[in-house]
Amino acid sequence: MADRLGTNEANIESKKLDILQEQLEFNNLLQWLDADQDKAAEQYKKLQERLSSFFQQKLRREDSKDLADKVFSIIAKKITKGEQIRTNNQATFALGIARVLVLEHWRKNKEEPLSDELLLNYPSKEPAIDSKLIDNEQSELIQTCLEHCLAELPLESRSLVLQYFGGQGQEQKNSKHREQLAKQYVTTVENLRLRACRLRGKLEDCINKQLAKITKK
Amino acid sequence: MSETNTNKRHESDTKKIMIRYLLGTLSKKEEEDLEELYFTEDNYFEQLRIVEIELIDNYLHQNLSTEDRKYFEQRFLTSPERYKKVEIARVLLKAANEAQTNSSISDNVAKSWRDIVQIIFQPQNRKLNFVLAASGIMALVGGSWLVNEHLRLRSQFKQTQDELISLRALEQQMAIQKERSDKLDKELTQERDQRHLLEEKVASLLSSSAKILTFVLNPGLVRGGNTKTKLTIPPNTELIQLQLNLEQSFEFKNYRVEIETAEGKKIPNLESVRIKNTNSGGKAILVELSANLLVNNDYLVTLYGLSSNGNGEKIGGYYFRVLNK
C-alpha cells in the first residue's frame, strides 16, 4: 500500500514537473514572439493559422493543428535550452521548422507529391480522400451548426453572407450578381468580397468549434 | 486609370498564382516564395484564404476546368480537414441558395402585382372598358389581399424559422452548460478522491511518525546467555518503551534506570521513568528512550530504587539484544 502510494506520488510529482516545464517553455515562446503578452497571443494565433494552412497543403491525412503545435513545441524547447535563434522574423523561422517536419514526414512515409504527368495521364477515379468520411449524419450536424452560427451573427451580416453566396453558379452569373449586390450595399465589388469572405471565415471557425464540442461529447 | 488597371492585373496574377499553389501546380521555388509571403504578410494570407474559399465554391458550382478539377481532387482534397471545408461550403451554399430563392419568390409576387396595376393605368390603355377597370380594381383589391396574406405568412414563416434557430441555439447552449456542469462534477469527484487519498496518506504518515514499540523485559536473565530477550526494531520506529517487570513489590517512591551496552557504554538522557500495574497483578517500571539510541548490540538494564534521601539501591538487572535494525 505504502509502496503504491509512493509510486503514485512519484508519478504525480513527475507529471507536475512536466507541466511546469511545459508552462515555462510556453511562456518563453510567448516572450520570444512578443514582449507584450496580448501581442504575443495574437502573434501565436496568426502563426498557428498559417502553419495549419501550410501543413494542410503539404501533407495528406494529417492533423494540421497537431503539427503546428509540434513546431511551437520545438521552438519553445530551443529557446528554453538557450539556443541562439538568429532571425529577425519569427514567422520565417517557424516556416523553416515546418518545412523540416514535412521533409521528415515524406522521408518516413516514402510519400511524394504526385507528378503532373501521372496525375493527368493516369488519374485515379477516386478522390484522394474517401468521400464516405463525410456522411449524411455529418452533413446534418454541419447544417445544425451552421444554423446556430448564422443565428449568432448580427442580422445585417447574416443577410450579407446569404445574399453574397446565394444565387451563385456560373462565373458570368456570379460576376453580375456581385455587381448588383455591391450597388445595393453601396460599396465596391472588391470590398464586398472581402467582407463576405471574412464573415464566411468566422462562420467556418464557429462551425468547426461547434463540431468539435459535439464530437467531444 | 492606368495605375488602377495595373493593380487589377497584379491582383489577378496573384490570384492565379494562389490558385495554382492550392492546386499544387507551382514549381518548388514559386511555392517557397509564396509561402514566405503568406507567413510574413497578413494581407497576403487573407487573400489566400479568400482564394481558397472561391476555389472550393467554383469546384462545387462545377466552374473548374477538367484539368483543375483533377488537381483539386488529387492535390487539394487531401486531408479530412480540407474535405470538411468543402462539406461546410456545400451546406452553406445550399442554405444561401434556398434563402435567395425564397427571397426572389417574394419579390416576384410583389413585382407582378405592381406590373398589372401599371398596365391597367397606362395612358394608351385608357380606352379599355370600365368593366376591365372594375374587374382590375377588384382583382387588385383581391390581389393586394393575397400579396399581403402571402407576405404575412412569409413573415410568420421567417419568424418561426428564427425562433427555431434561437431554440436550437438555446439547446446548444444548454448542452454546453450541461457539459460544463458534468465536467465540474467530475473534477469535484476527482478532487474529493484525491483529498481522501491525501488524508489517508497523512493519517498513515502520522501513525508511522508516532510509532512506539513496547518491549517487556523480565529480570534476572543471565548476561551472555541464549535466553536474553531479542528486540527487532523496524526502521520507522521512533520511540522504544521498555517495560521492566518487577520480581516483587517495592516501596520506593522513585526509580532510576541505567542502560549500557555490552562494552559498558551508557545510554544518556533516559527520561519518563514511571511505575505501571501489569495485567498479571504485579508492578513494572516503564522507561522510554529514542529508538535511534539503540544499535545492533547487547544491552544491560539496571534498575535502582530511590529512597526519600535520594540514595539508590540496585533492585534488578535485565538483558536484551537489538537485532536487524
* A127/B73 touch (CB, cutoff 8 Å), yes or no: yes
Task: Provide the pLDDT for residue A68.
Answer: 94
Asked if residue A23 belongs to a domain, the reply is: yes
Q: Same domain for A107 and A50?
A: yes
Domain ranges of chain B: 2-78, 115-210, 212-323
* A134/B50 touch (CB, cutoff 8 Å), yes or no: no
* A57/B22 touch (CB, cutoff 8 Å), yes or no: yes
User: Rounded to an integer, what distance in angstroms lies between the CA atom of residue B214 and that of residue B263?
Assistant: 24
Residue from A75, A77, A55 nearest A65 by CA: A55
Q: Same domain for A63 and A160?
A: no
Asked if residue A30 belongs to a domain, the reply is: yes
What cell numbers appear for B280 in the block? 498479571
Q: Same domain for A13 and A98?
A: yes
User: Rounded to an integer, what distance in angstroms lies between the CA atom of residue B267 and that of residue B260?
Assistant: 6
User: Rounded to an integer, what distance in angstroms lies between the CA atom of residue B93 and that of residue B115?
Assistant: 32
Q: Same domain for A105 and A148?
A: no
Comparing CB atoms, the residue among B22, B73, B99 nearest residue A128 is B73
What cell numbers appear for A51 in the block? 502553419
User: Rounded to an integer, what distance in angstroms lies between the CA atom of residue A180 and that of residue A177?
Assistant: 5
For A81, the domain range is 2-113
DSSP lists the bridge partners of residue B276 as B284
What cell numbers appear for B295 in the block? 544499535
Task: Provide the pLDDT for residue B126.
Answer: 53
Q: Same domain for A78 and A156?
A: no
Task: Provide the pLDDT for residue A125.
Answer: 46
Q: What is the ipTM of this complex?
A: 0.84
Tens digit of each residue's pLDDT (9 = 90 or more) over A20-72? 888 888 998 999 999 898 999 999 999 999 999 999 998 876 788 899 999 99
Residue from A65, A216, A204 nearest A142 by CA: A204
- pLDDT greater at residue A96 or residue B138: A96
Give A162's contacts in chain B (Cβ within 8 Å).
Answer: 95-96, 99-100
Ranking B49-63, B100-114, B116-130 by mean pLDDT, the lowest is B116-130
What cell numbers appear for B269 in the block? 538522557
β-pairing, B239-245 with B229-232? unpaired
Give the whole-number percent of chain B exceeding pLDDT 90.
18
A57, A83, A113: which is the final residue of a domain? A113
Class level of CATH domain B212-323: mainly beta
Q: Same domain for A137 and A109?
A: no
Confidence of residue A183 (pLDDT cuts 50, 70, 90): very high
- pLDDT greater at residue B312 or residue A133: B312
User: Rounded to an integer, what distance in angstroms lies between the CA atom of residue A119 and that of residue B70?
Assistant: 8
How big is the A-B interface in CB pairs under 8 Å? 175
Give A89's contacts in chain B (Cβ within 8 Å).
Answer: 40
User: Rounded to an integer, what distance in angstroms lies between the CA atom of residue B240 and that of residue B222?
Assistant: 22
Asked if residue A122 belongs to a domain, the reply is: no
Q: Same domain for A6 and A41?
A: yes
Tens digit of each residue's pLDDT (9 = 90 or more) over A112-128? 665 555 555 554 444 44
Give how far B307 is from chain A: nearest CA, Å. 49
* A139/B87 touch (CB, cutoff 8 Å), yes or no: yes
Confidence of residue A188 (pLDDT cuts 50, 70, 90): very high
* B83/A116 touch (CB, cutoff 8 Å), yes or no: no
Give B45's contacts in chain A (Cβ within 8 Å).
Answer: 46, 49-50, 53
Measured at the CA of B288, the angle between CA B284 and CA B290, to 5 degrees, comes to: 155
* A129/B78 touch (CB, cutoff 8 Å), yes or no: yes
Domain count, chain A: 2
Residue pair B63/A170 in contact (Cβ under 8 Å)? The answer is: yes
User: Rounded to an integer, what distance in angstroms lies between the CA atom of residue A178 and that of residue A23?
Assistant: 49
User: Rounded to an integer, what distance in angstroms lies between the CA atom of residue B64 and that of residue B176?
Assistant: 40
Give B100's contacts in chain A (Cβ within 8 Å).
Answer: 162-163, 166-167
* B45/A170 touch (CB, cutoff 8 Å), yes or no: no
What cell numbers appear for A66 in the block? 497537431
* A133/B25 touch (CB, cutoff 8 Å), yes or no: no
Is the model's pLDDT at A108 over the cut of 50? Answer: yes
DSSP conformational letter for B67: H
* B81/A92 touch (CB, cutoff 8 Å), yes or no: no
Ranking A82-86, A115-119, B10-14 by mean pLDDT, the lowest is A115-119
Angle, to 10 degrees, between the axis of helix A189-216 and the axis of helix B130-209?
Answer: 50
Give how far B236 is from chain A: nearest CA, Å. 13
Q: Same domain for A152 and A184?
A: yes
Give A148's contacts in chain B (Cβ within 8 Å).
Answer: 165, 168-169, 172
Chain B residue whose CA is closest to A112: B75
Give A149's contacts in chain B (Cβ within 8 Å).
Answer: none
Q: Same domain for A27 and A104?
A: yes
User: Rounded to an integer, what distance in angstroms lies between the CA atom of residue B169 and that of residue B171?
Assistant: 5
DSSP conformational letter for B304: E
Give how far A110 is from chain B: nearest CA, Å. 16
Asked if residue A94 belongs to a domain, the reply is: yes
Tens digit of each residue's pLDDT (9 = 90 or more) over B236-272? 788 888 888 888 877 787 888 889 988 888 887 666 6
Asked if residue A155 belongs to a domain, the reply is: yes
Q: Same domain for A107 and A194?
A: no
Residue pair B150/B109 in contact (Cβ under 8 Å)? The answer is: yes
What cell numbers appear for A203 in the block? 462562420
Q: Same domain for A109 and A136?
A: no
A47, A81, A113: which is the final residue of a domain? A113
Three-class SS of residue B261?
A: strand
Q: Same domain for A19 and A97?
A: yes
Is the model's pLDDT at A134 over the cut of 80? Answer: no
User: Rounded to an integer, what distance in angstroms lies between the CA atom of residue B324 and that of residue B294?
Assistant: 11
* B53/A200 touch (CB, cutoff 8 Å), yes or no: yes
Q: Residues A36, A42, A46, A49: is their CA dihedral positive or negative?
A: positive
A52, A85, A113: which is the final residue of a domain? A113
Residue from B18, B74, B20, B64 nearest A120 by CA: B74
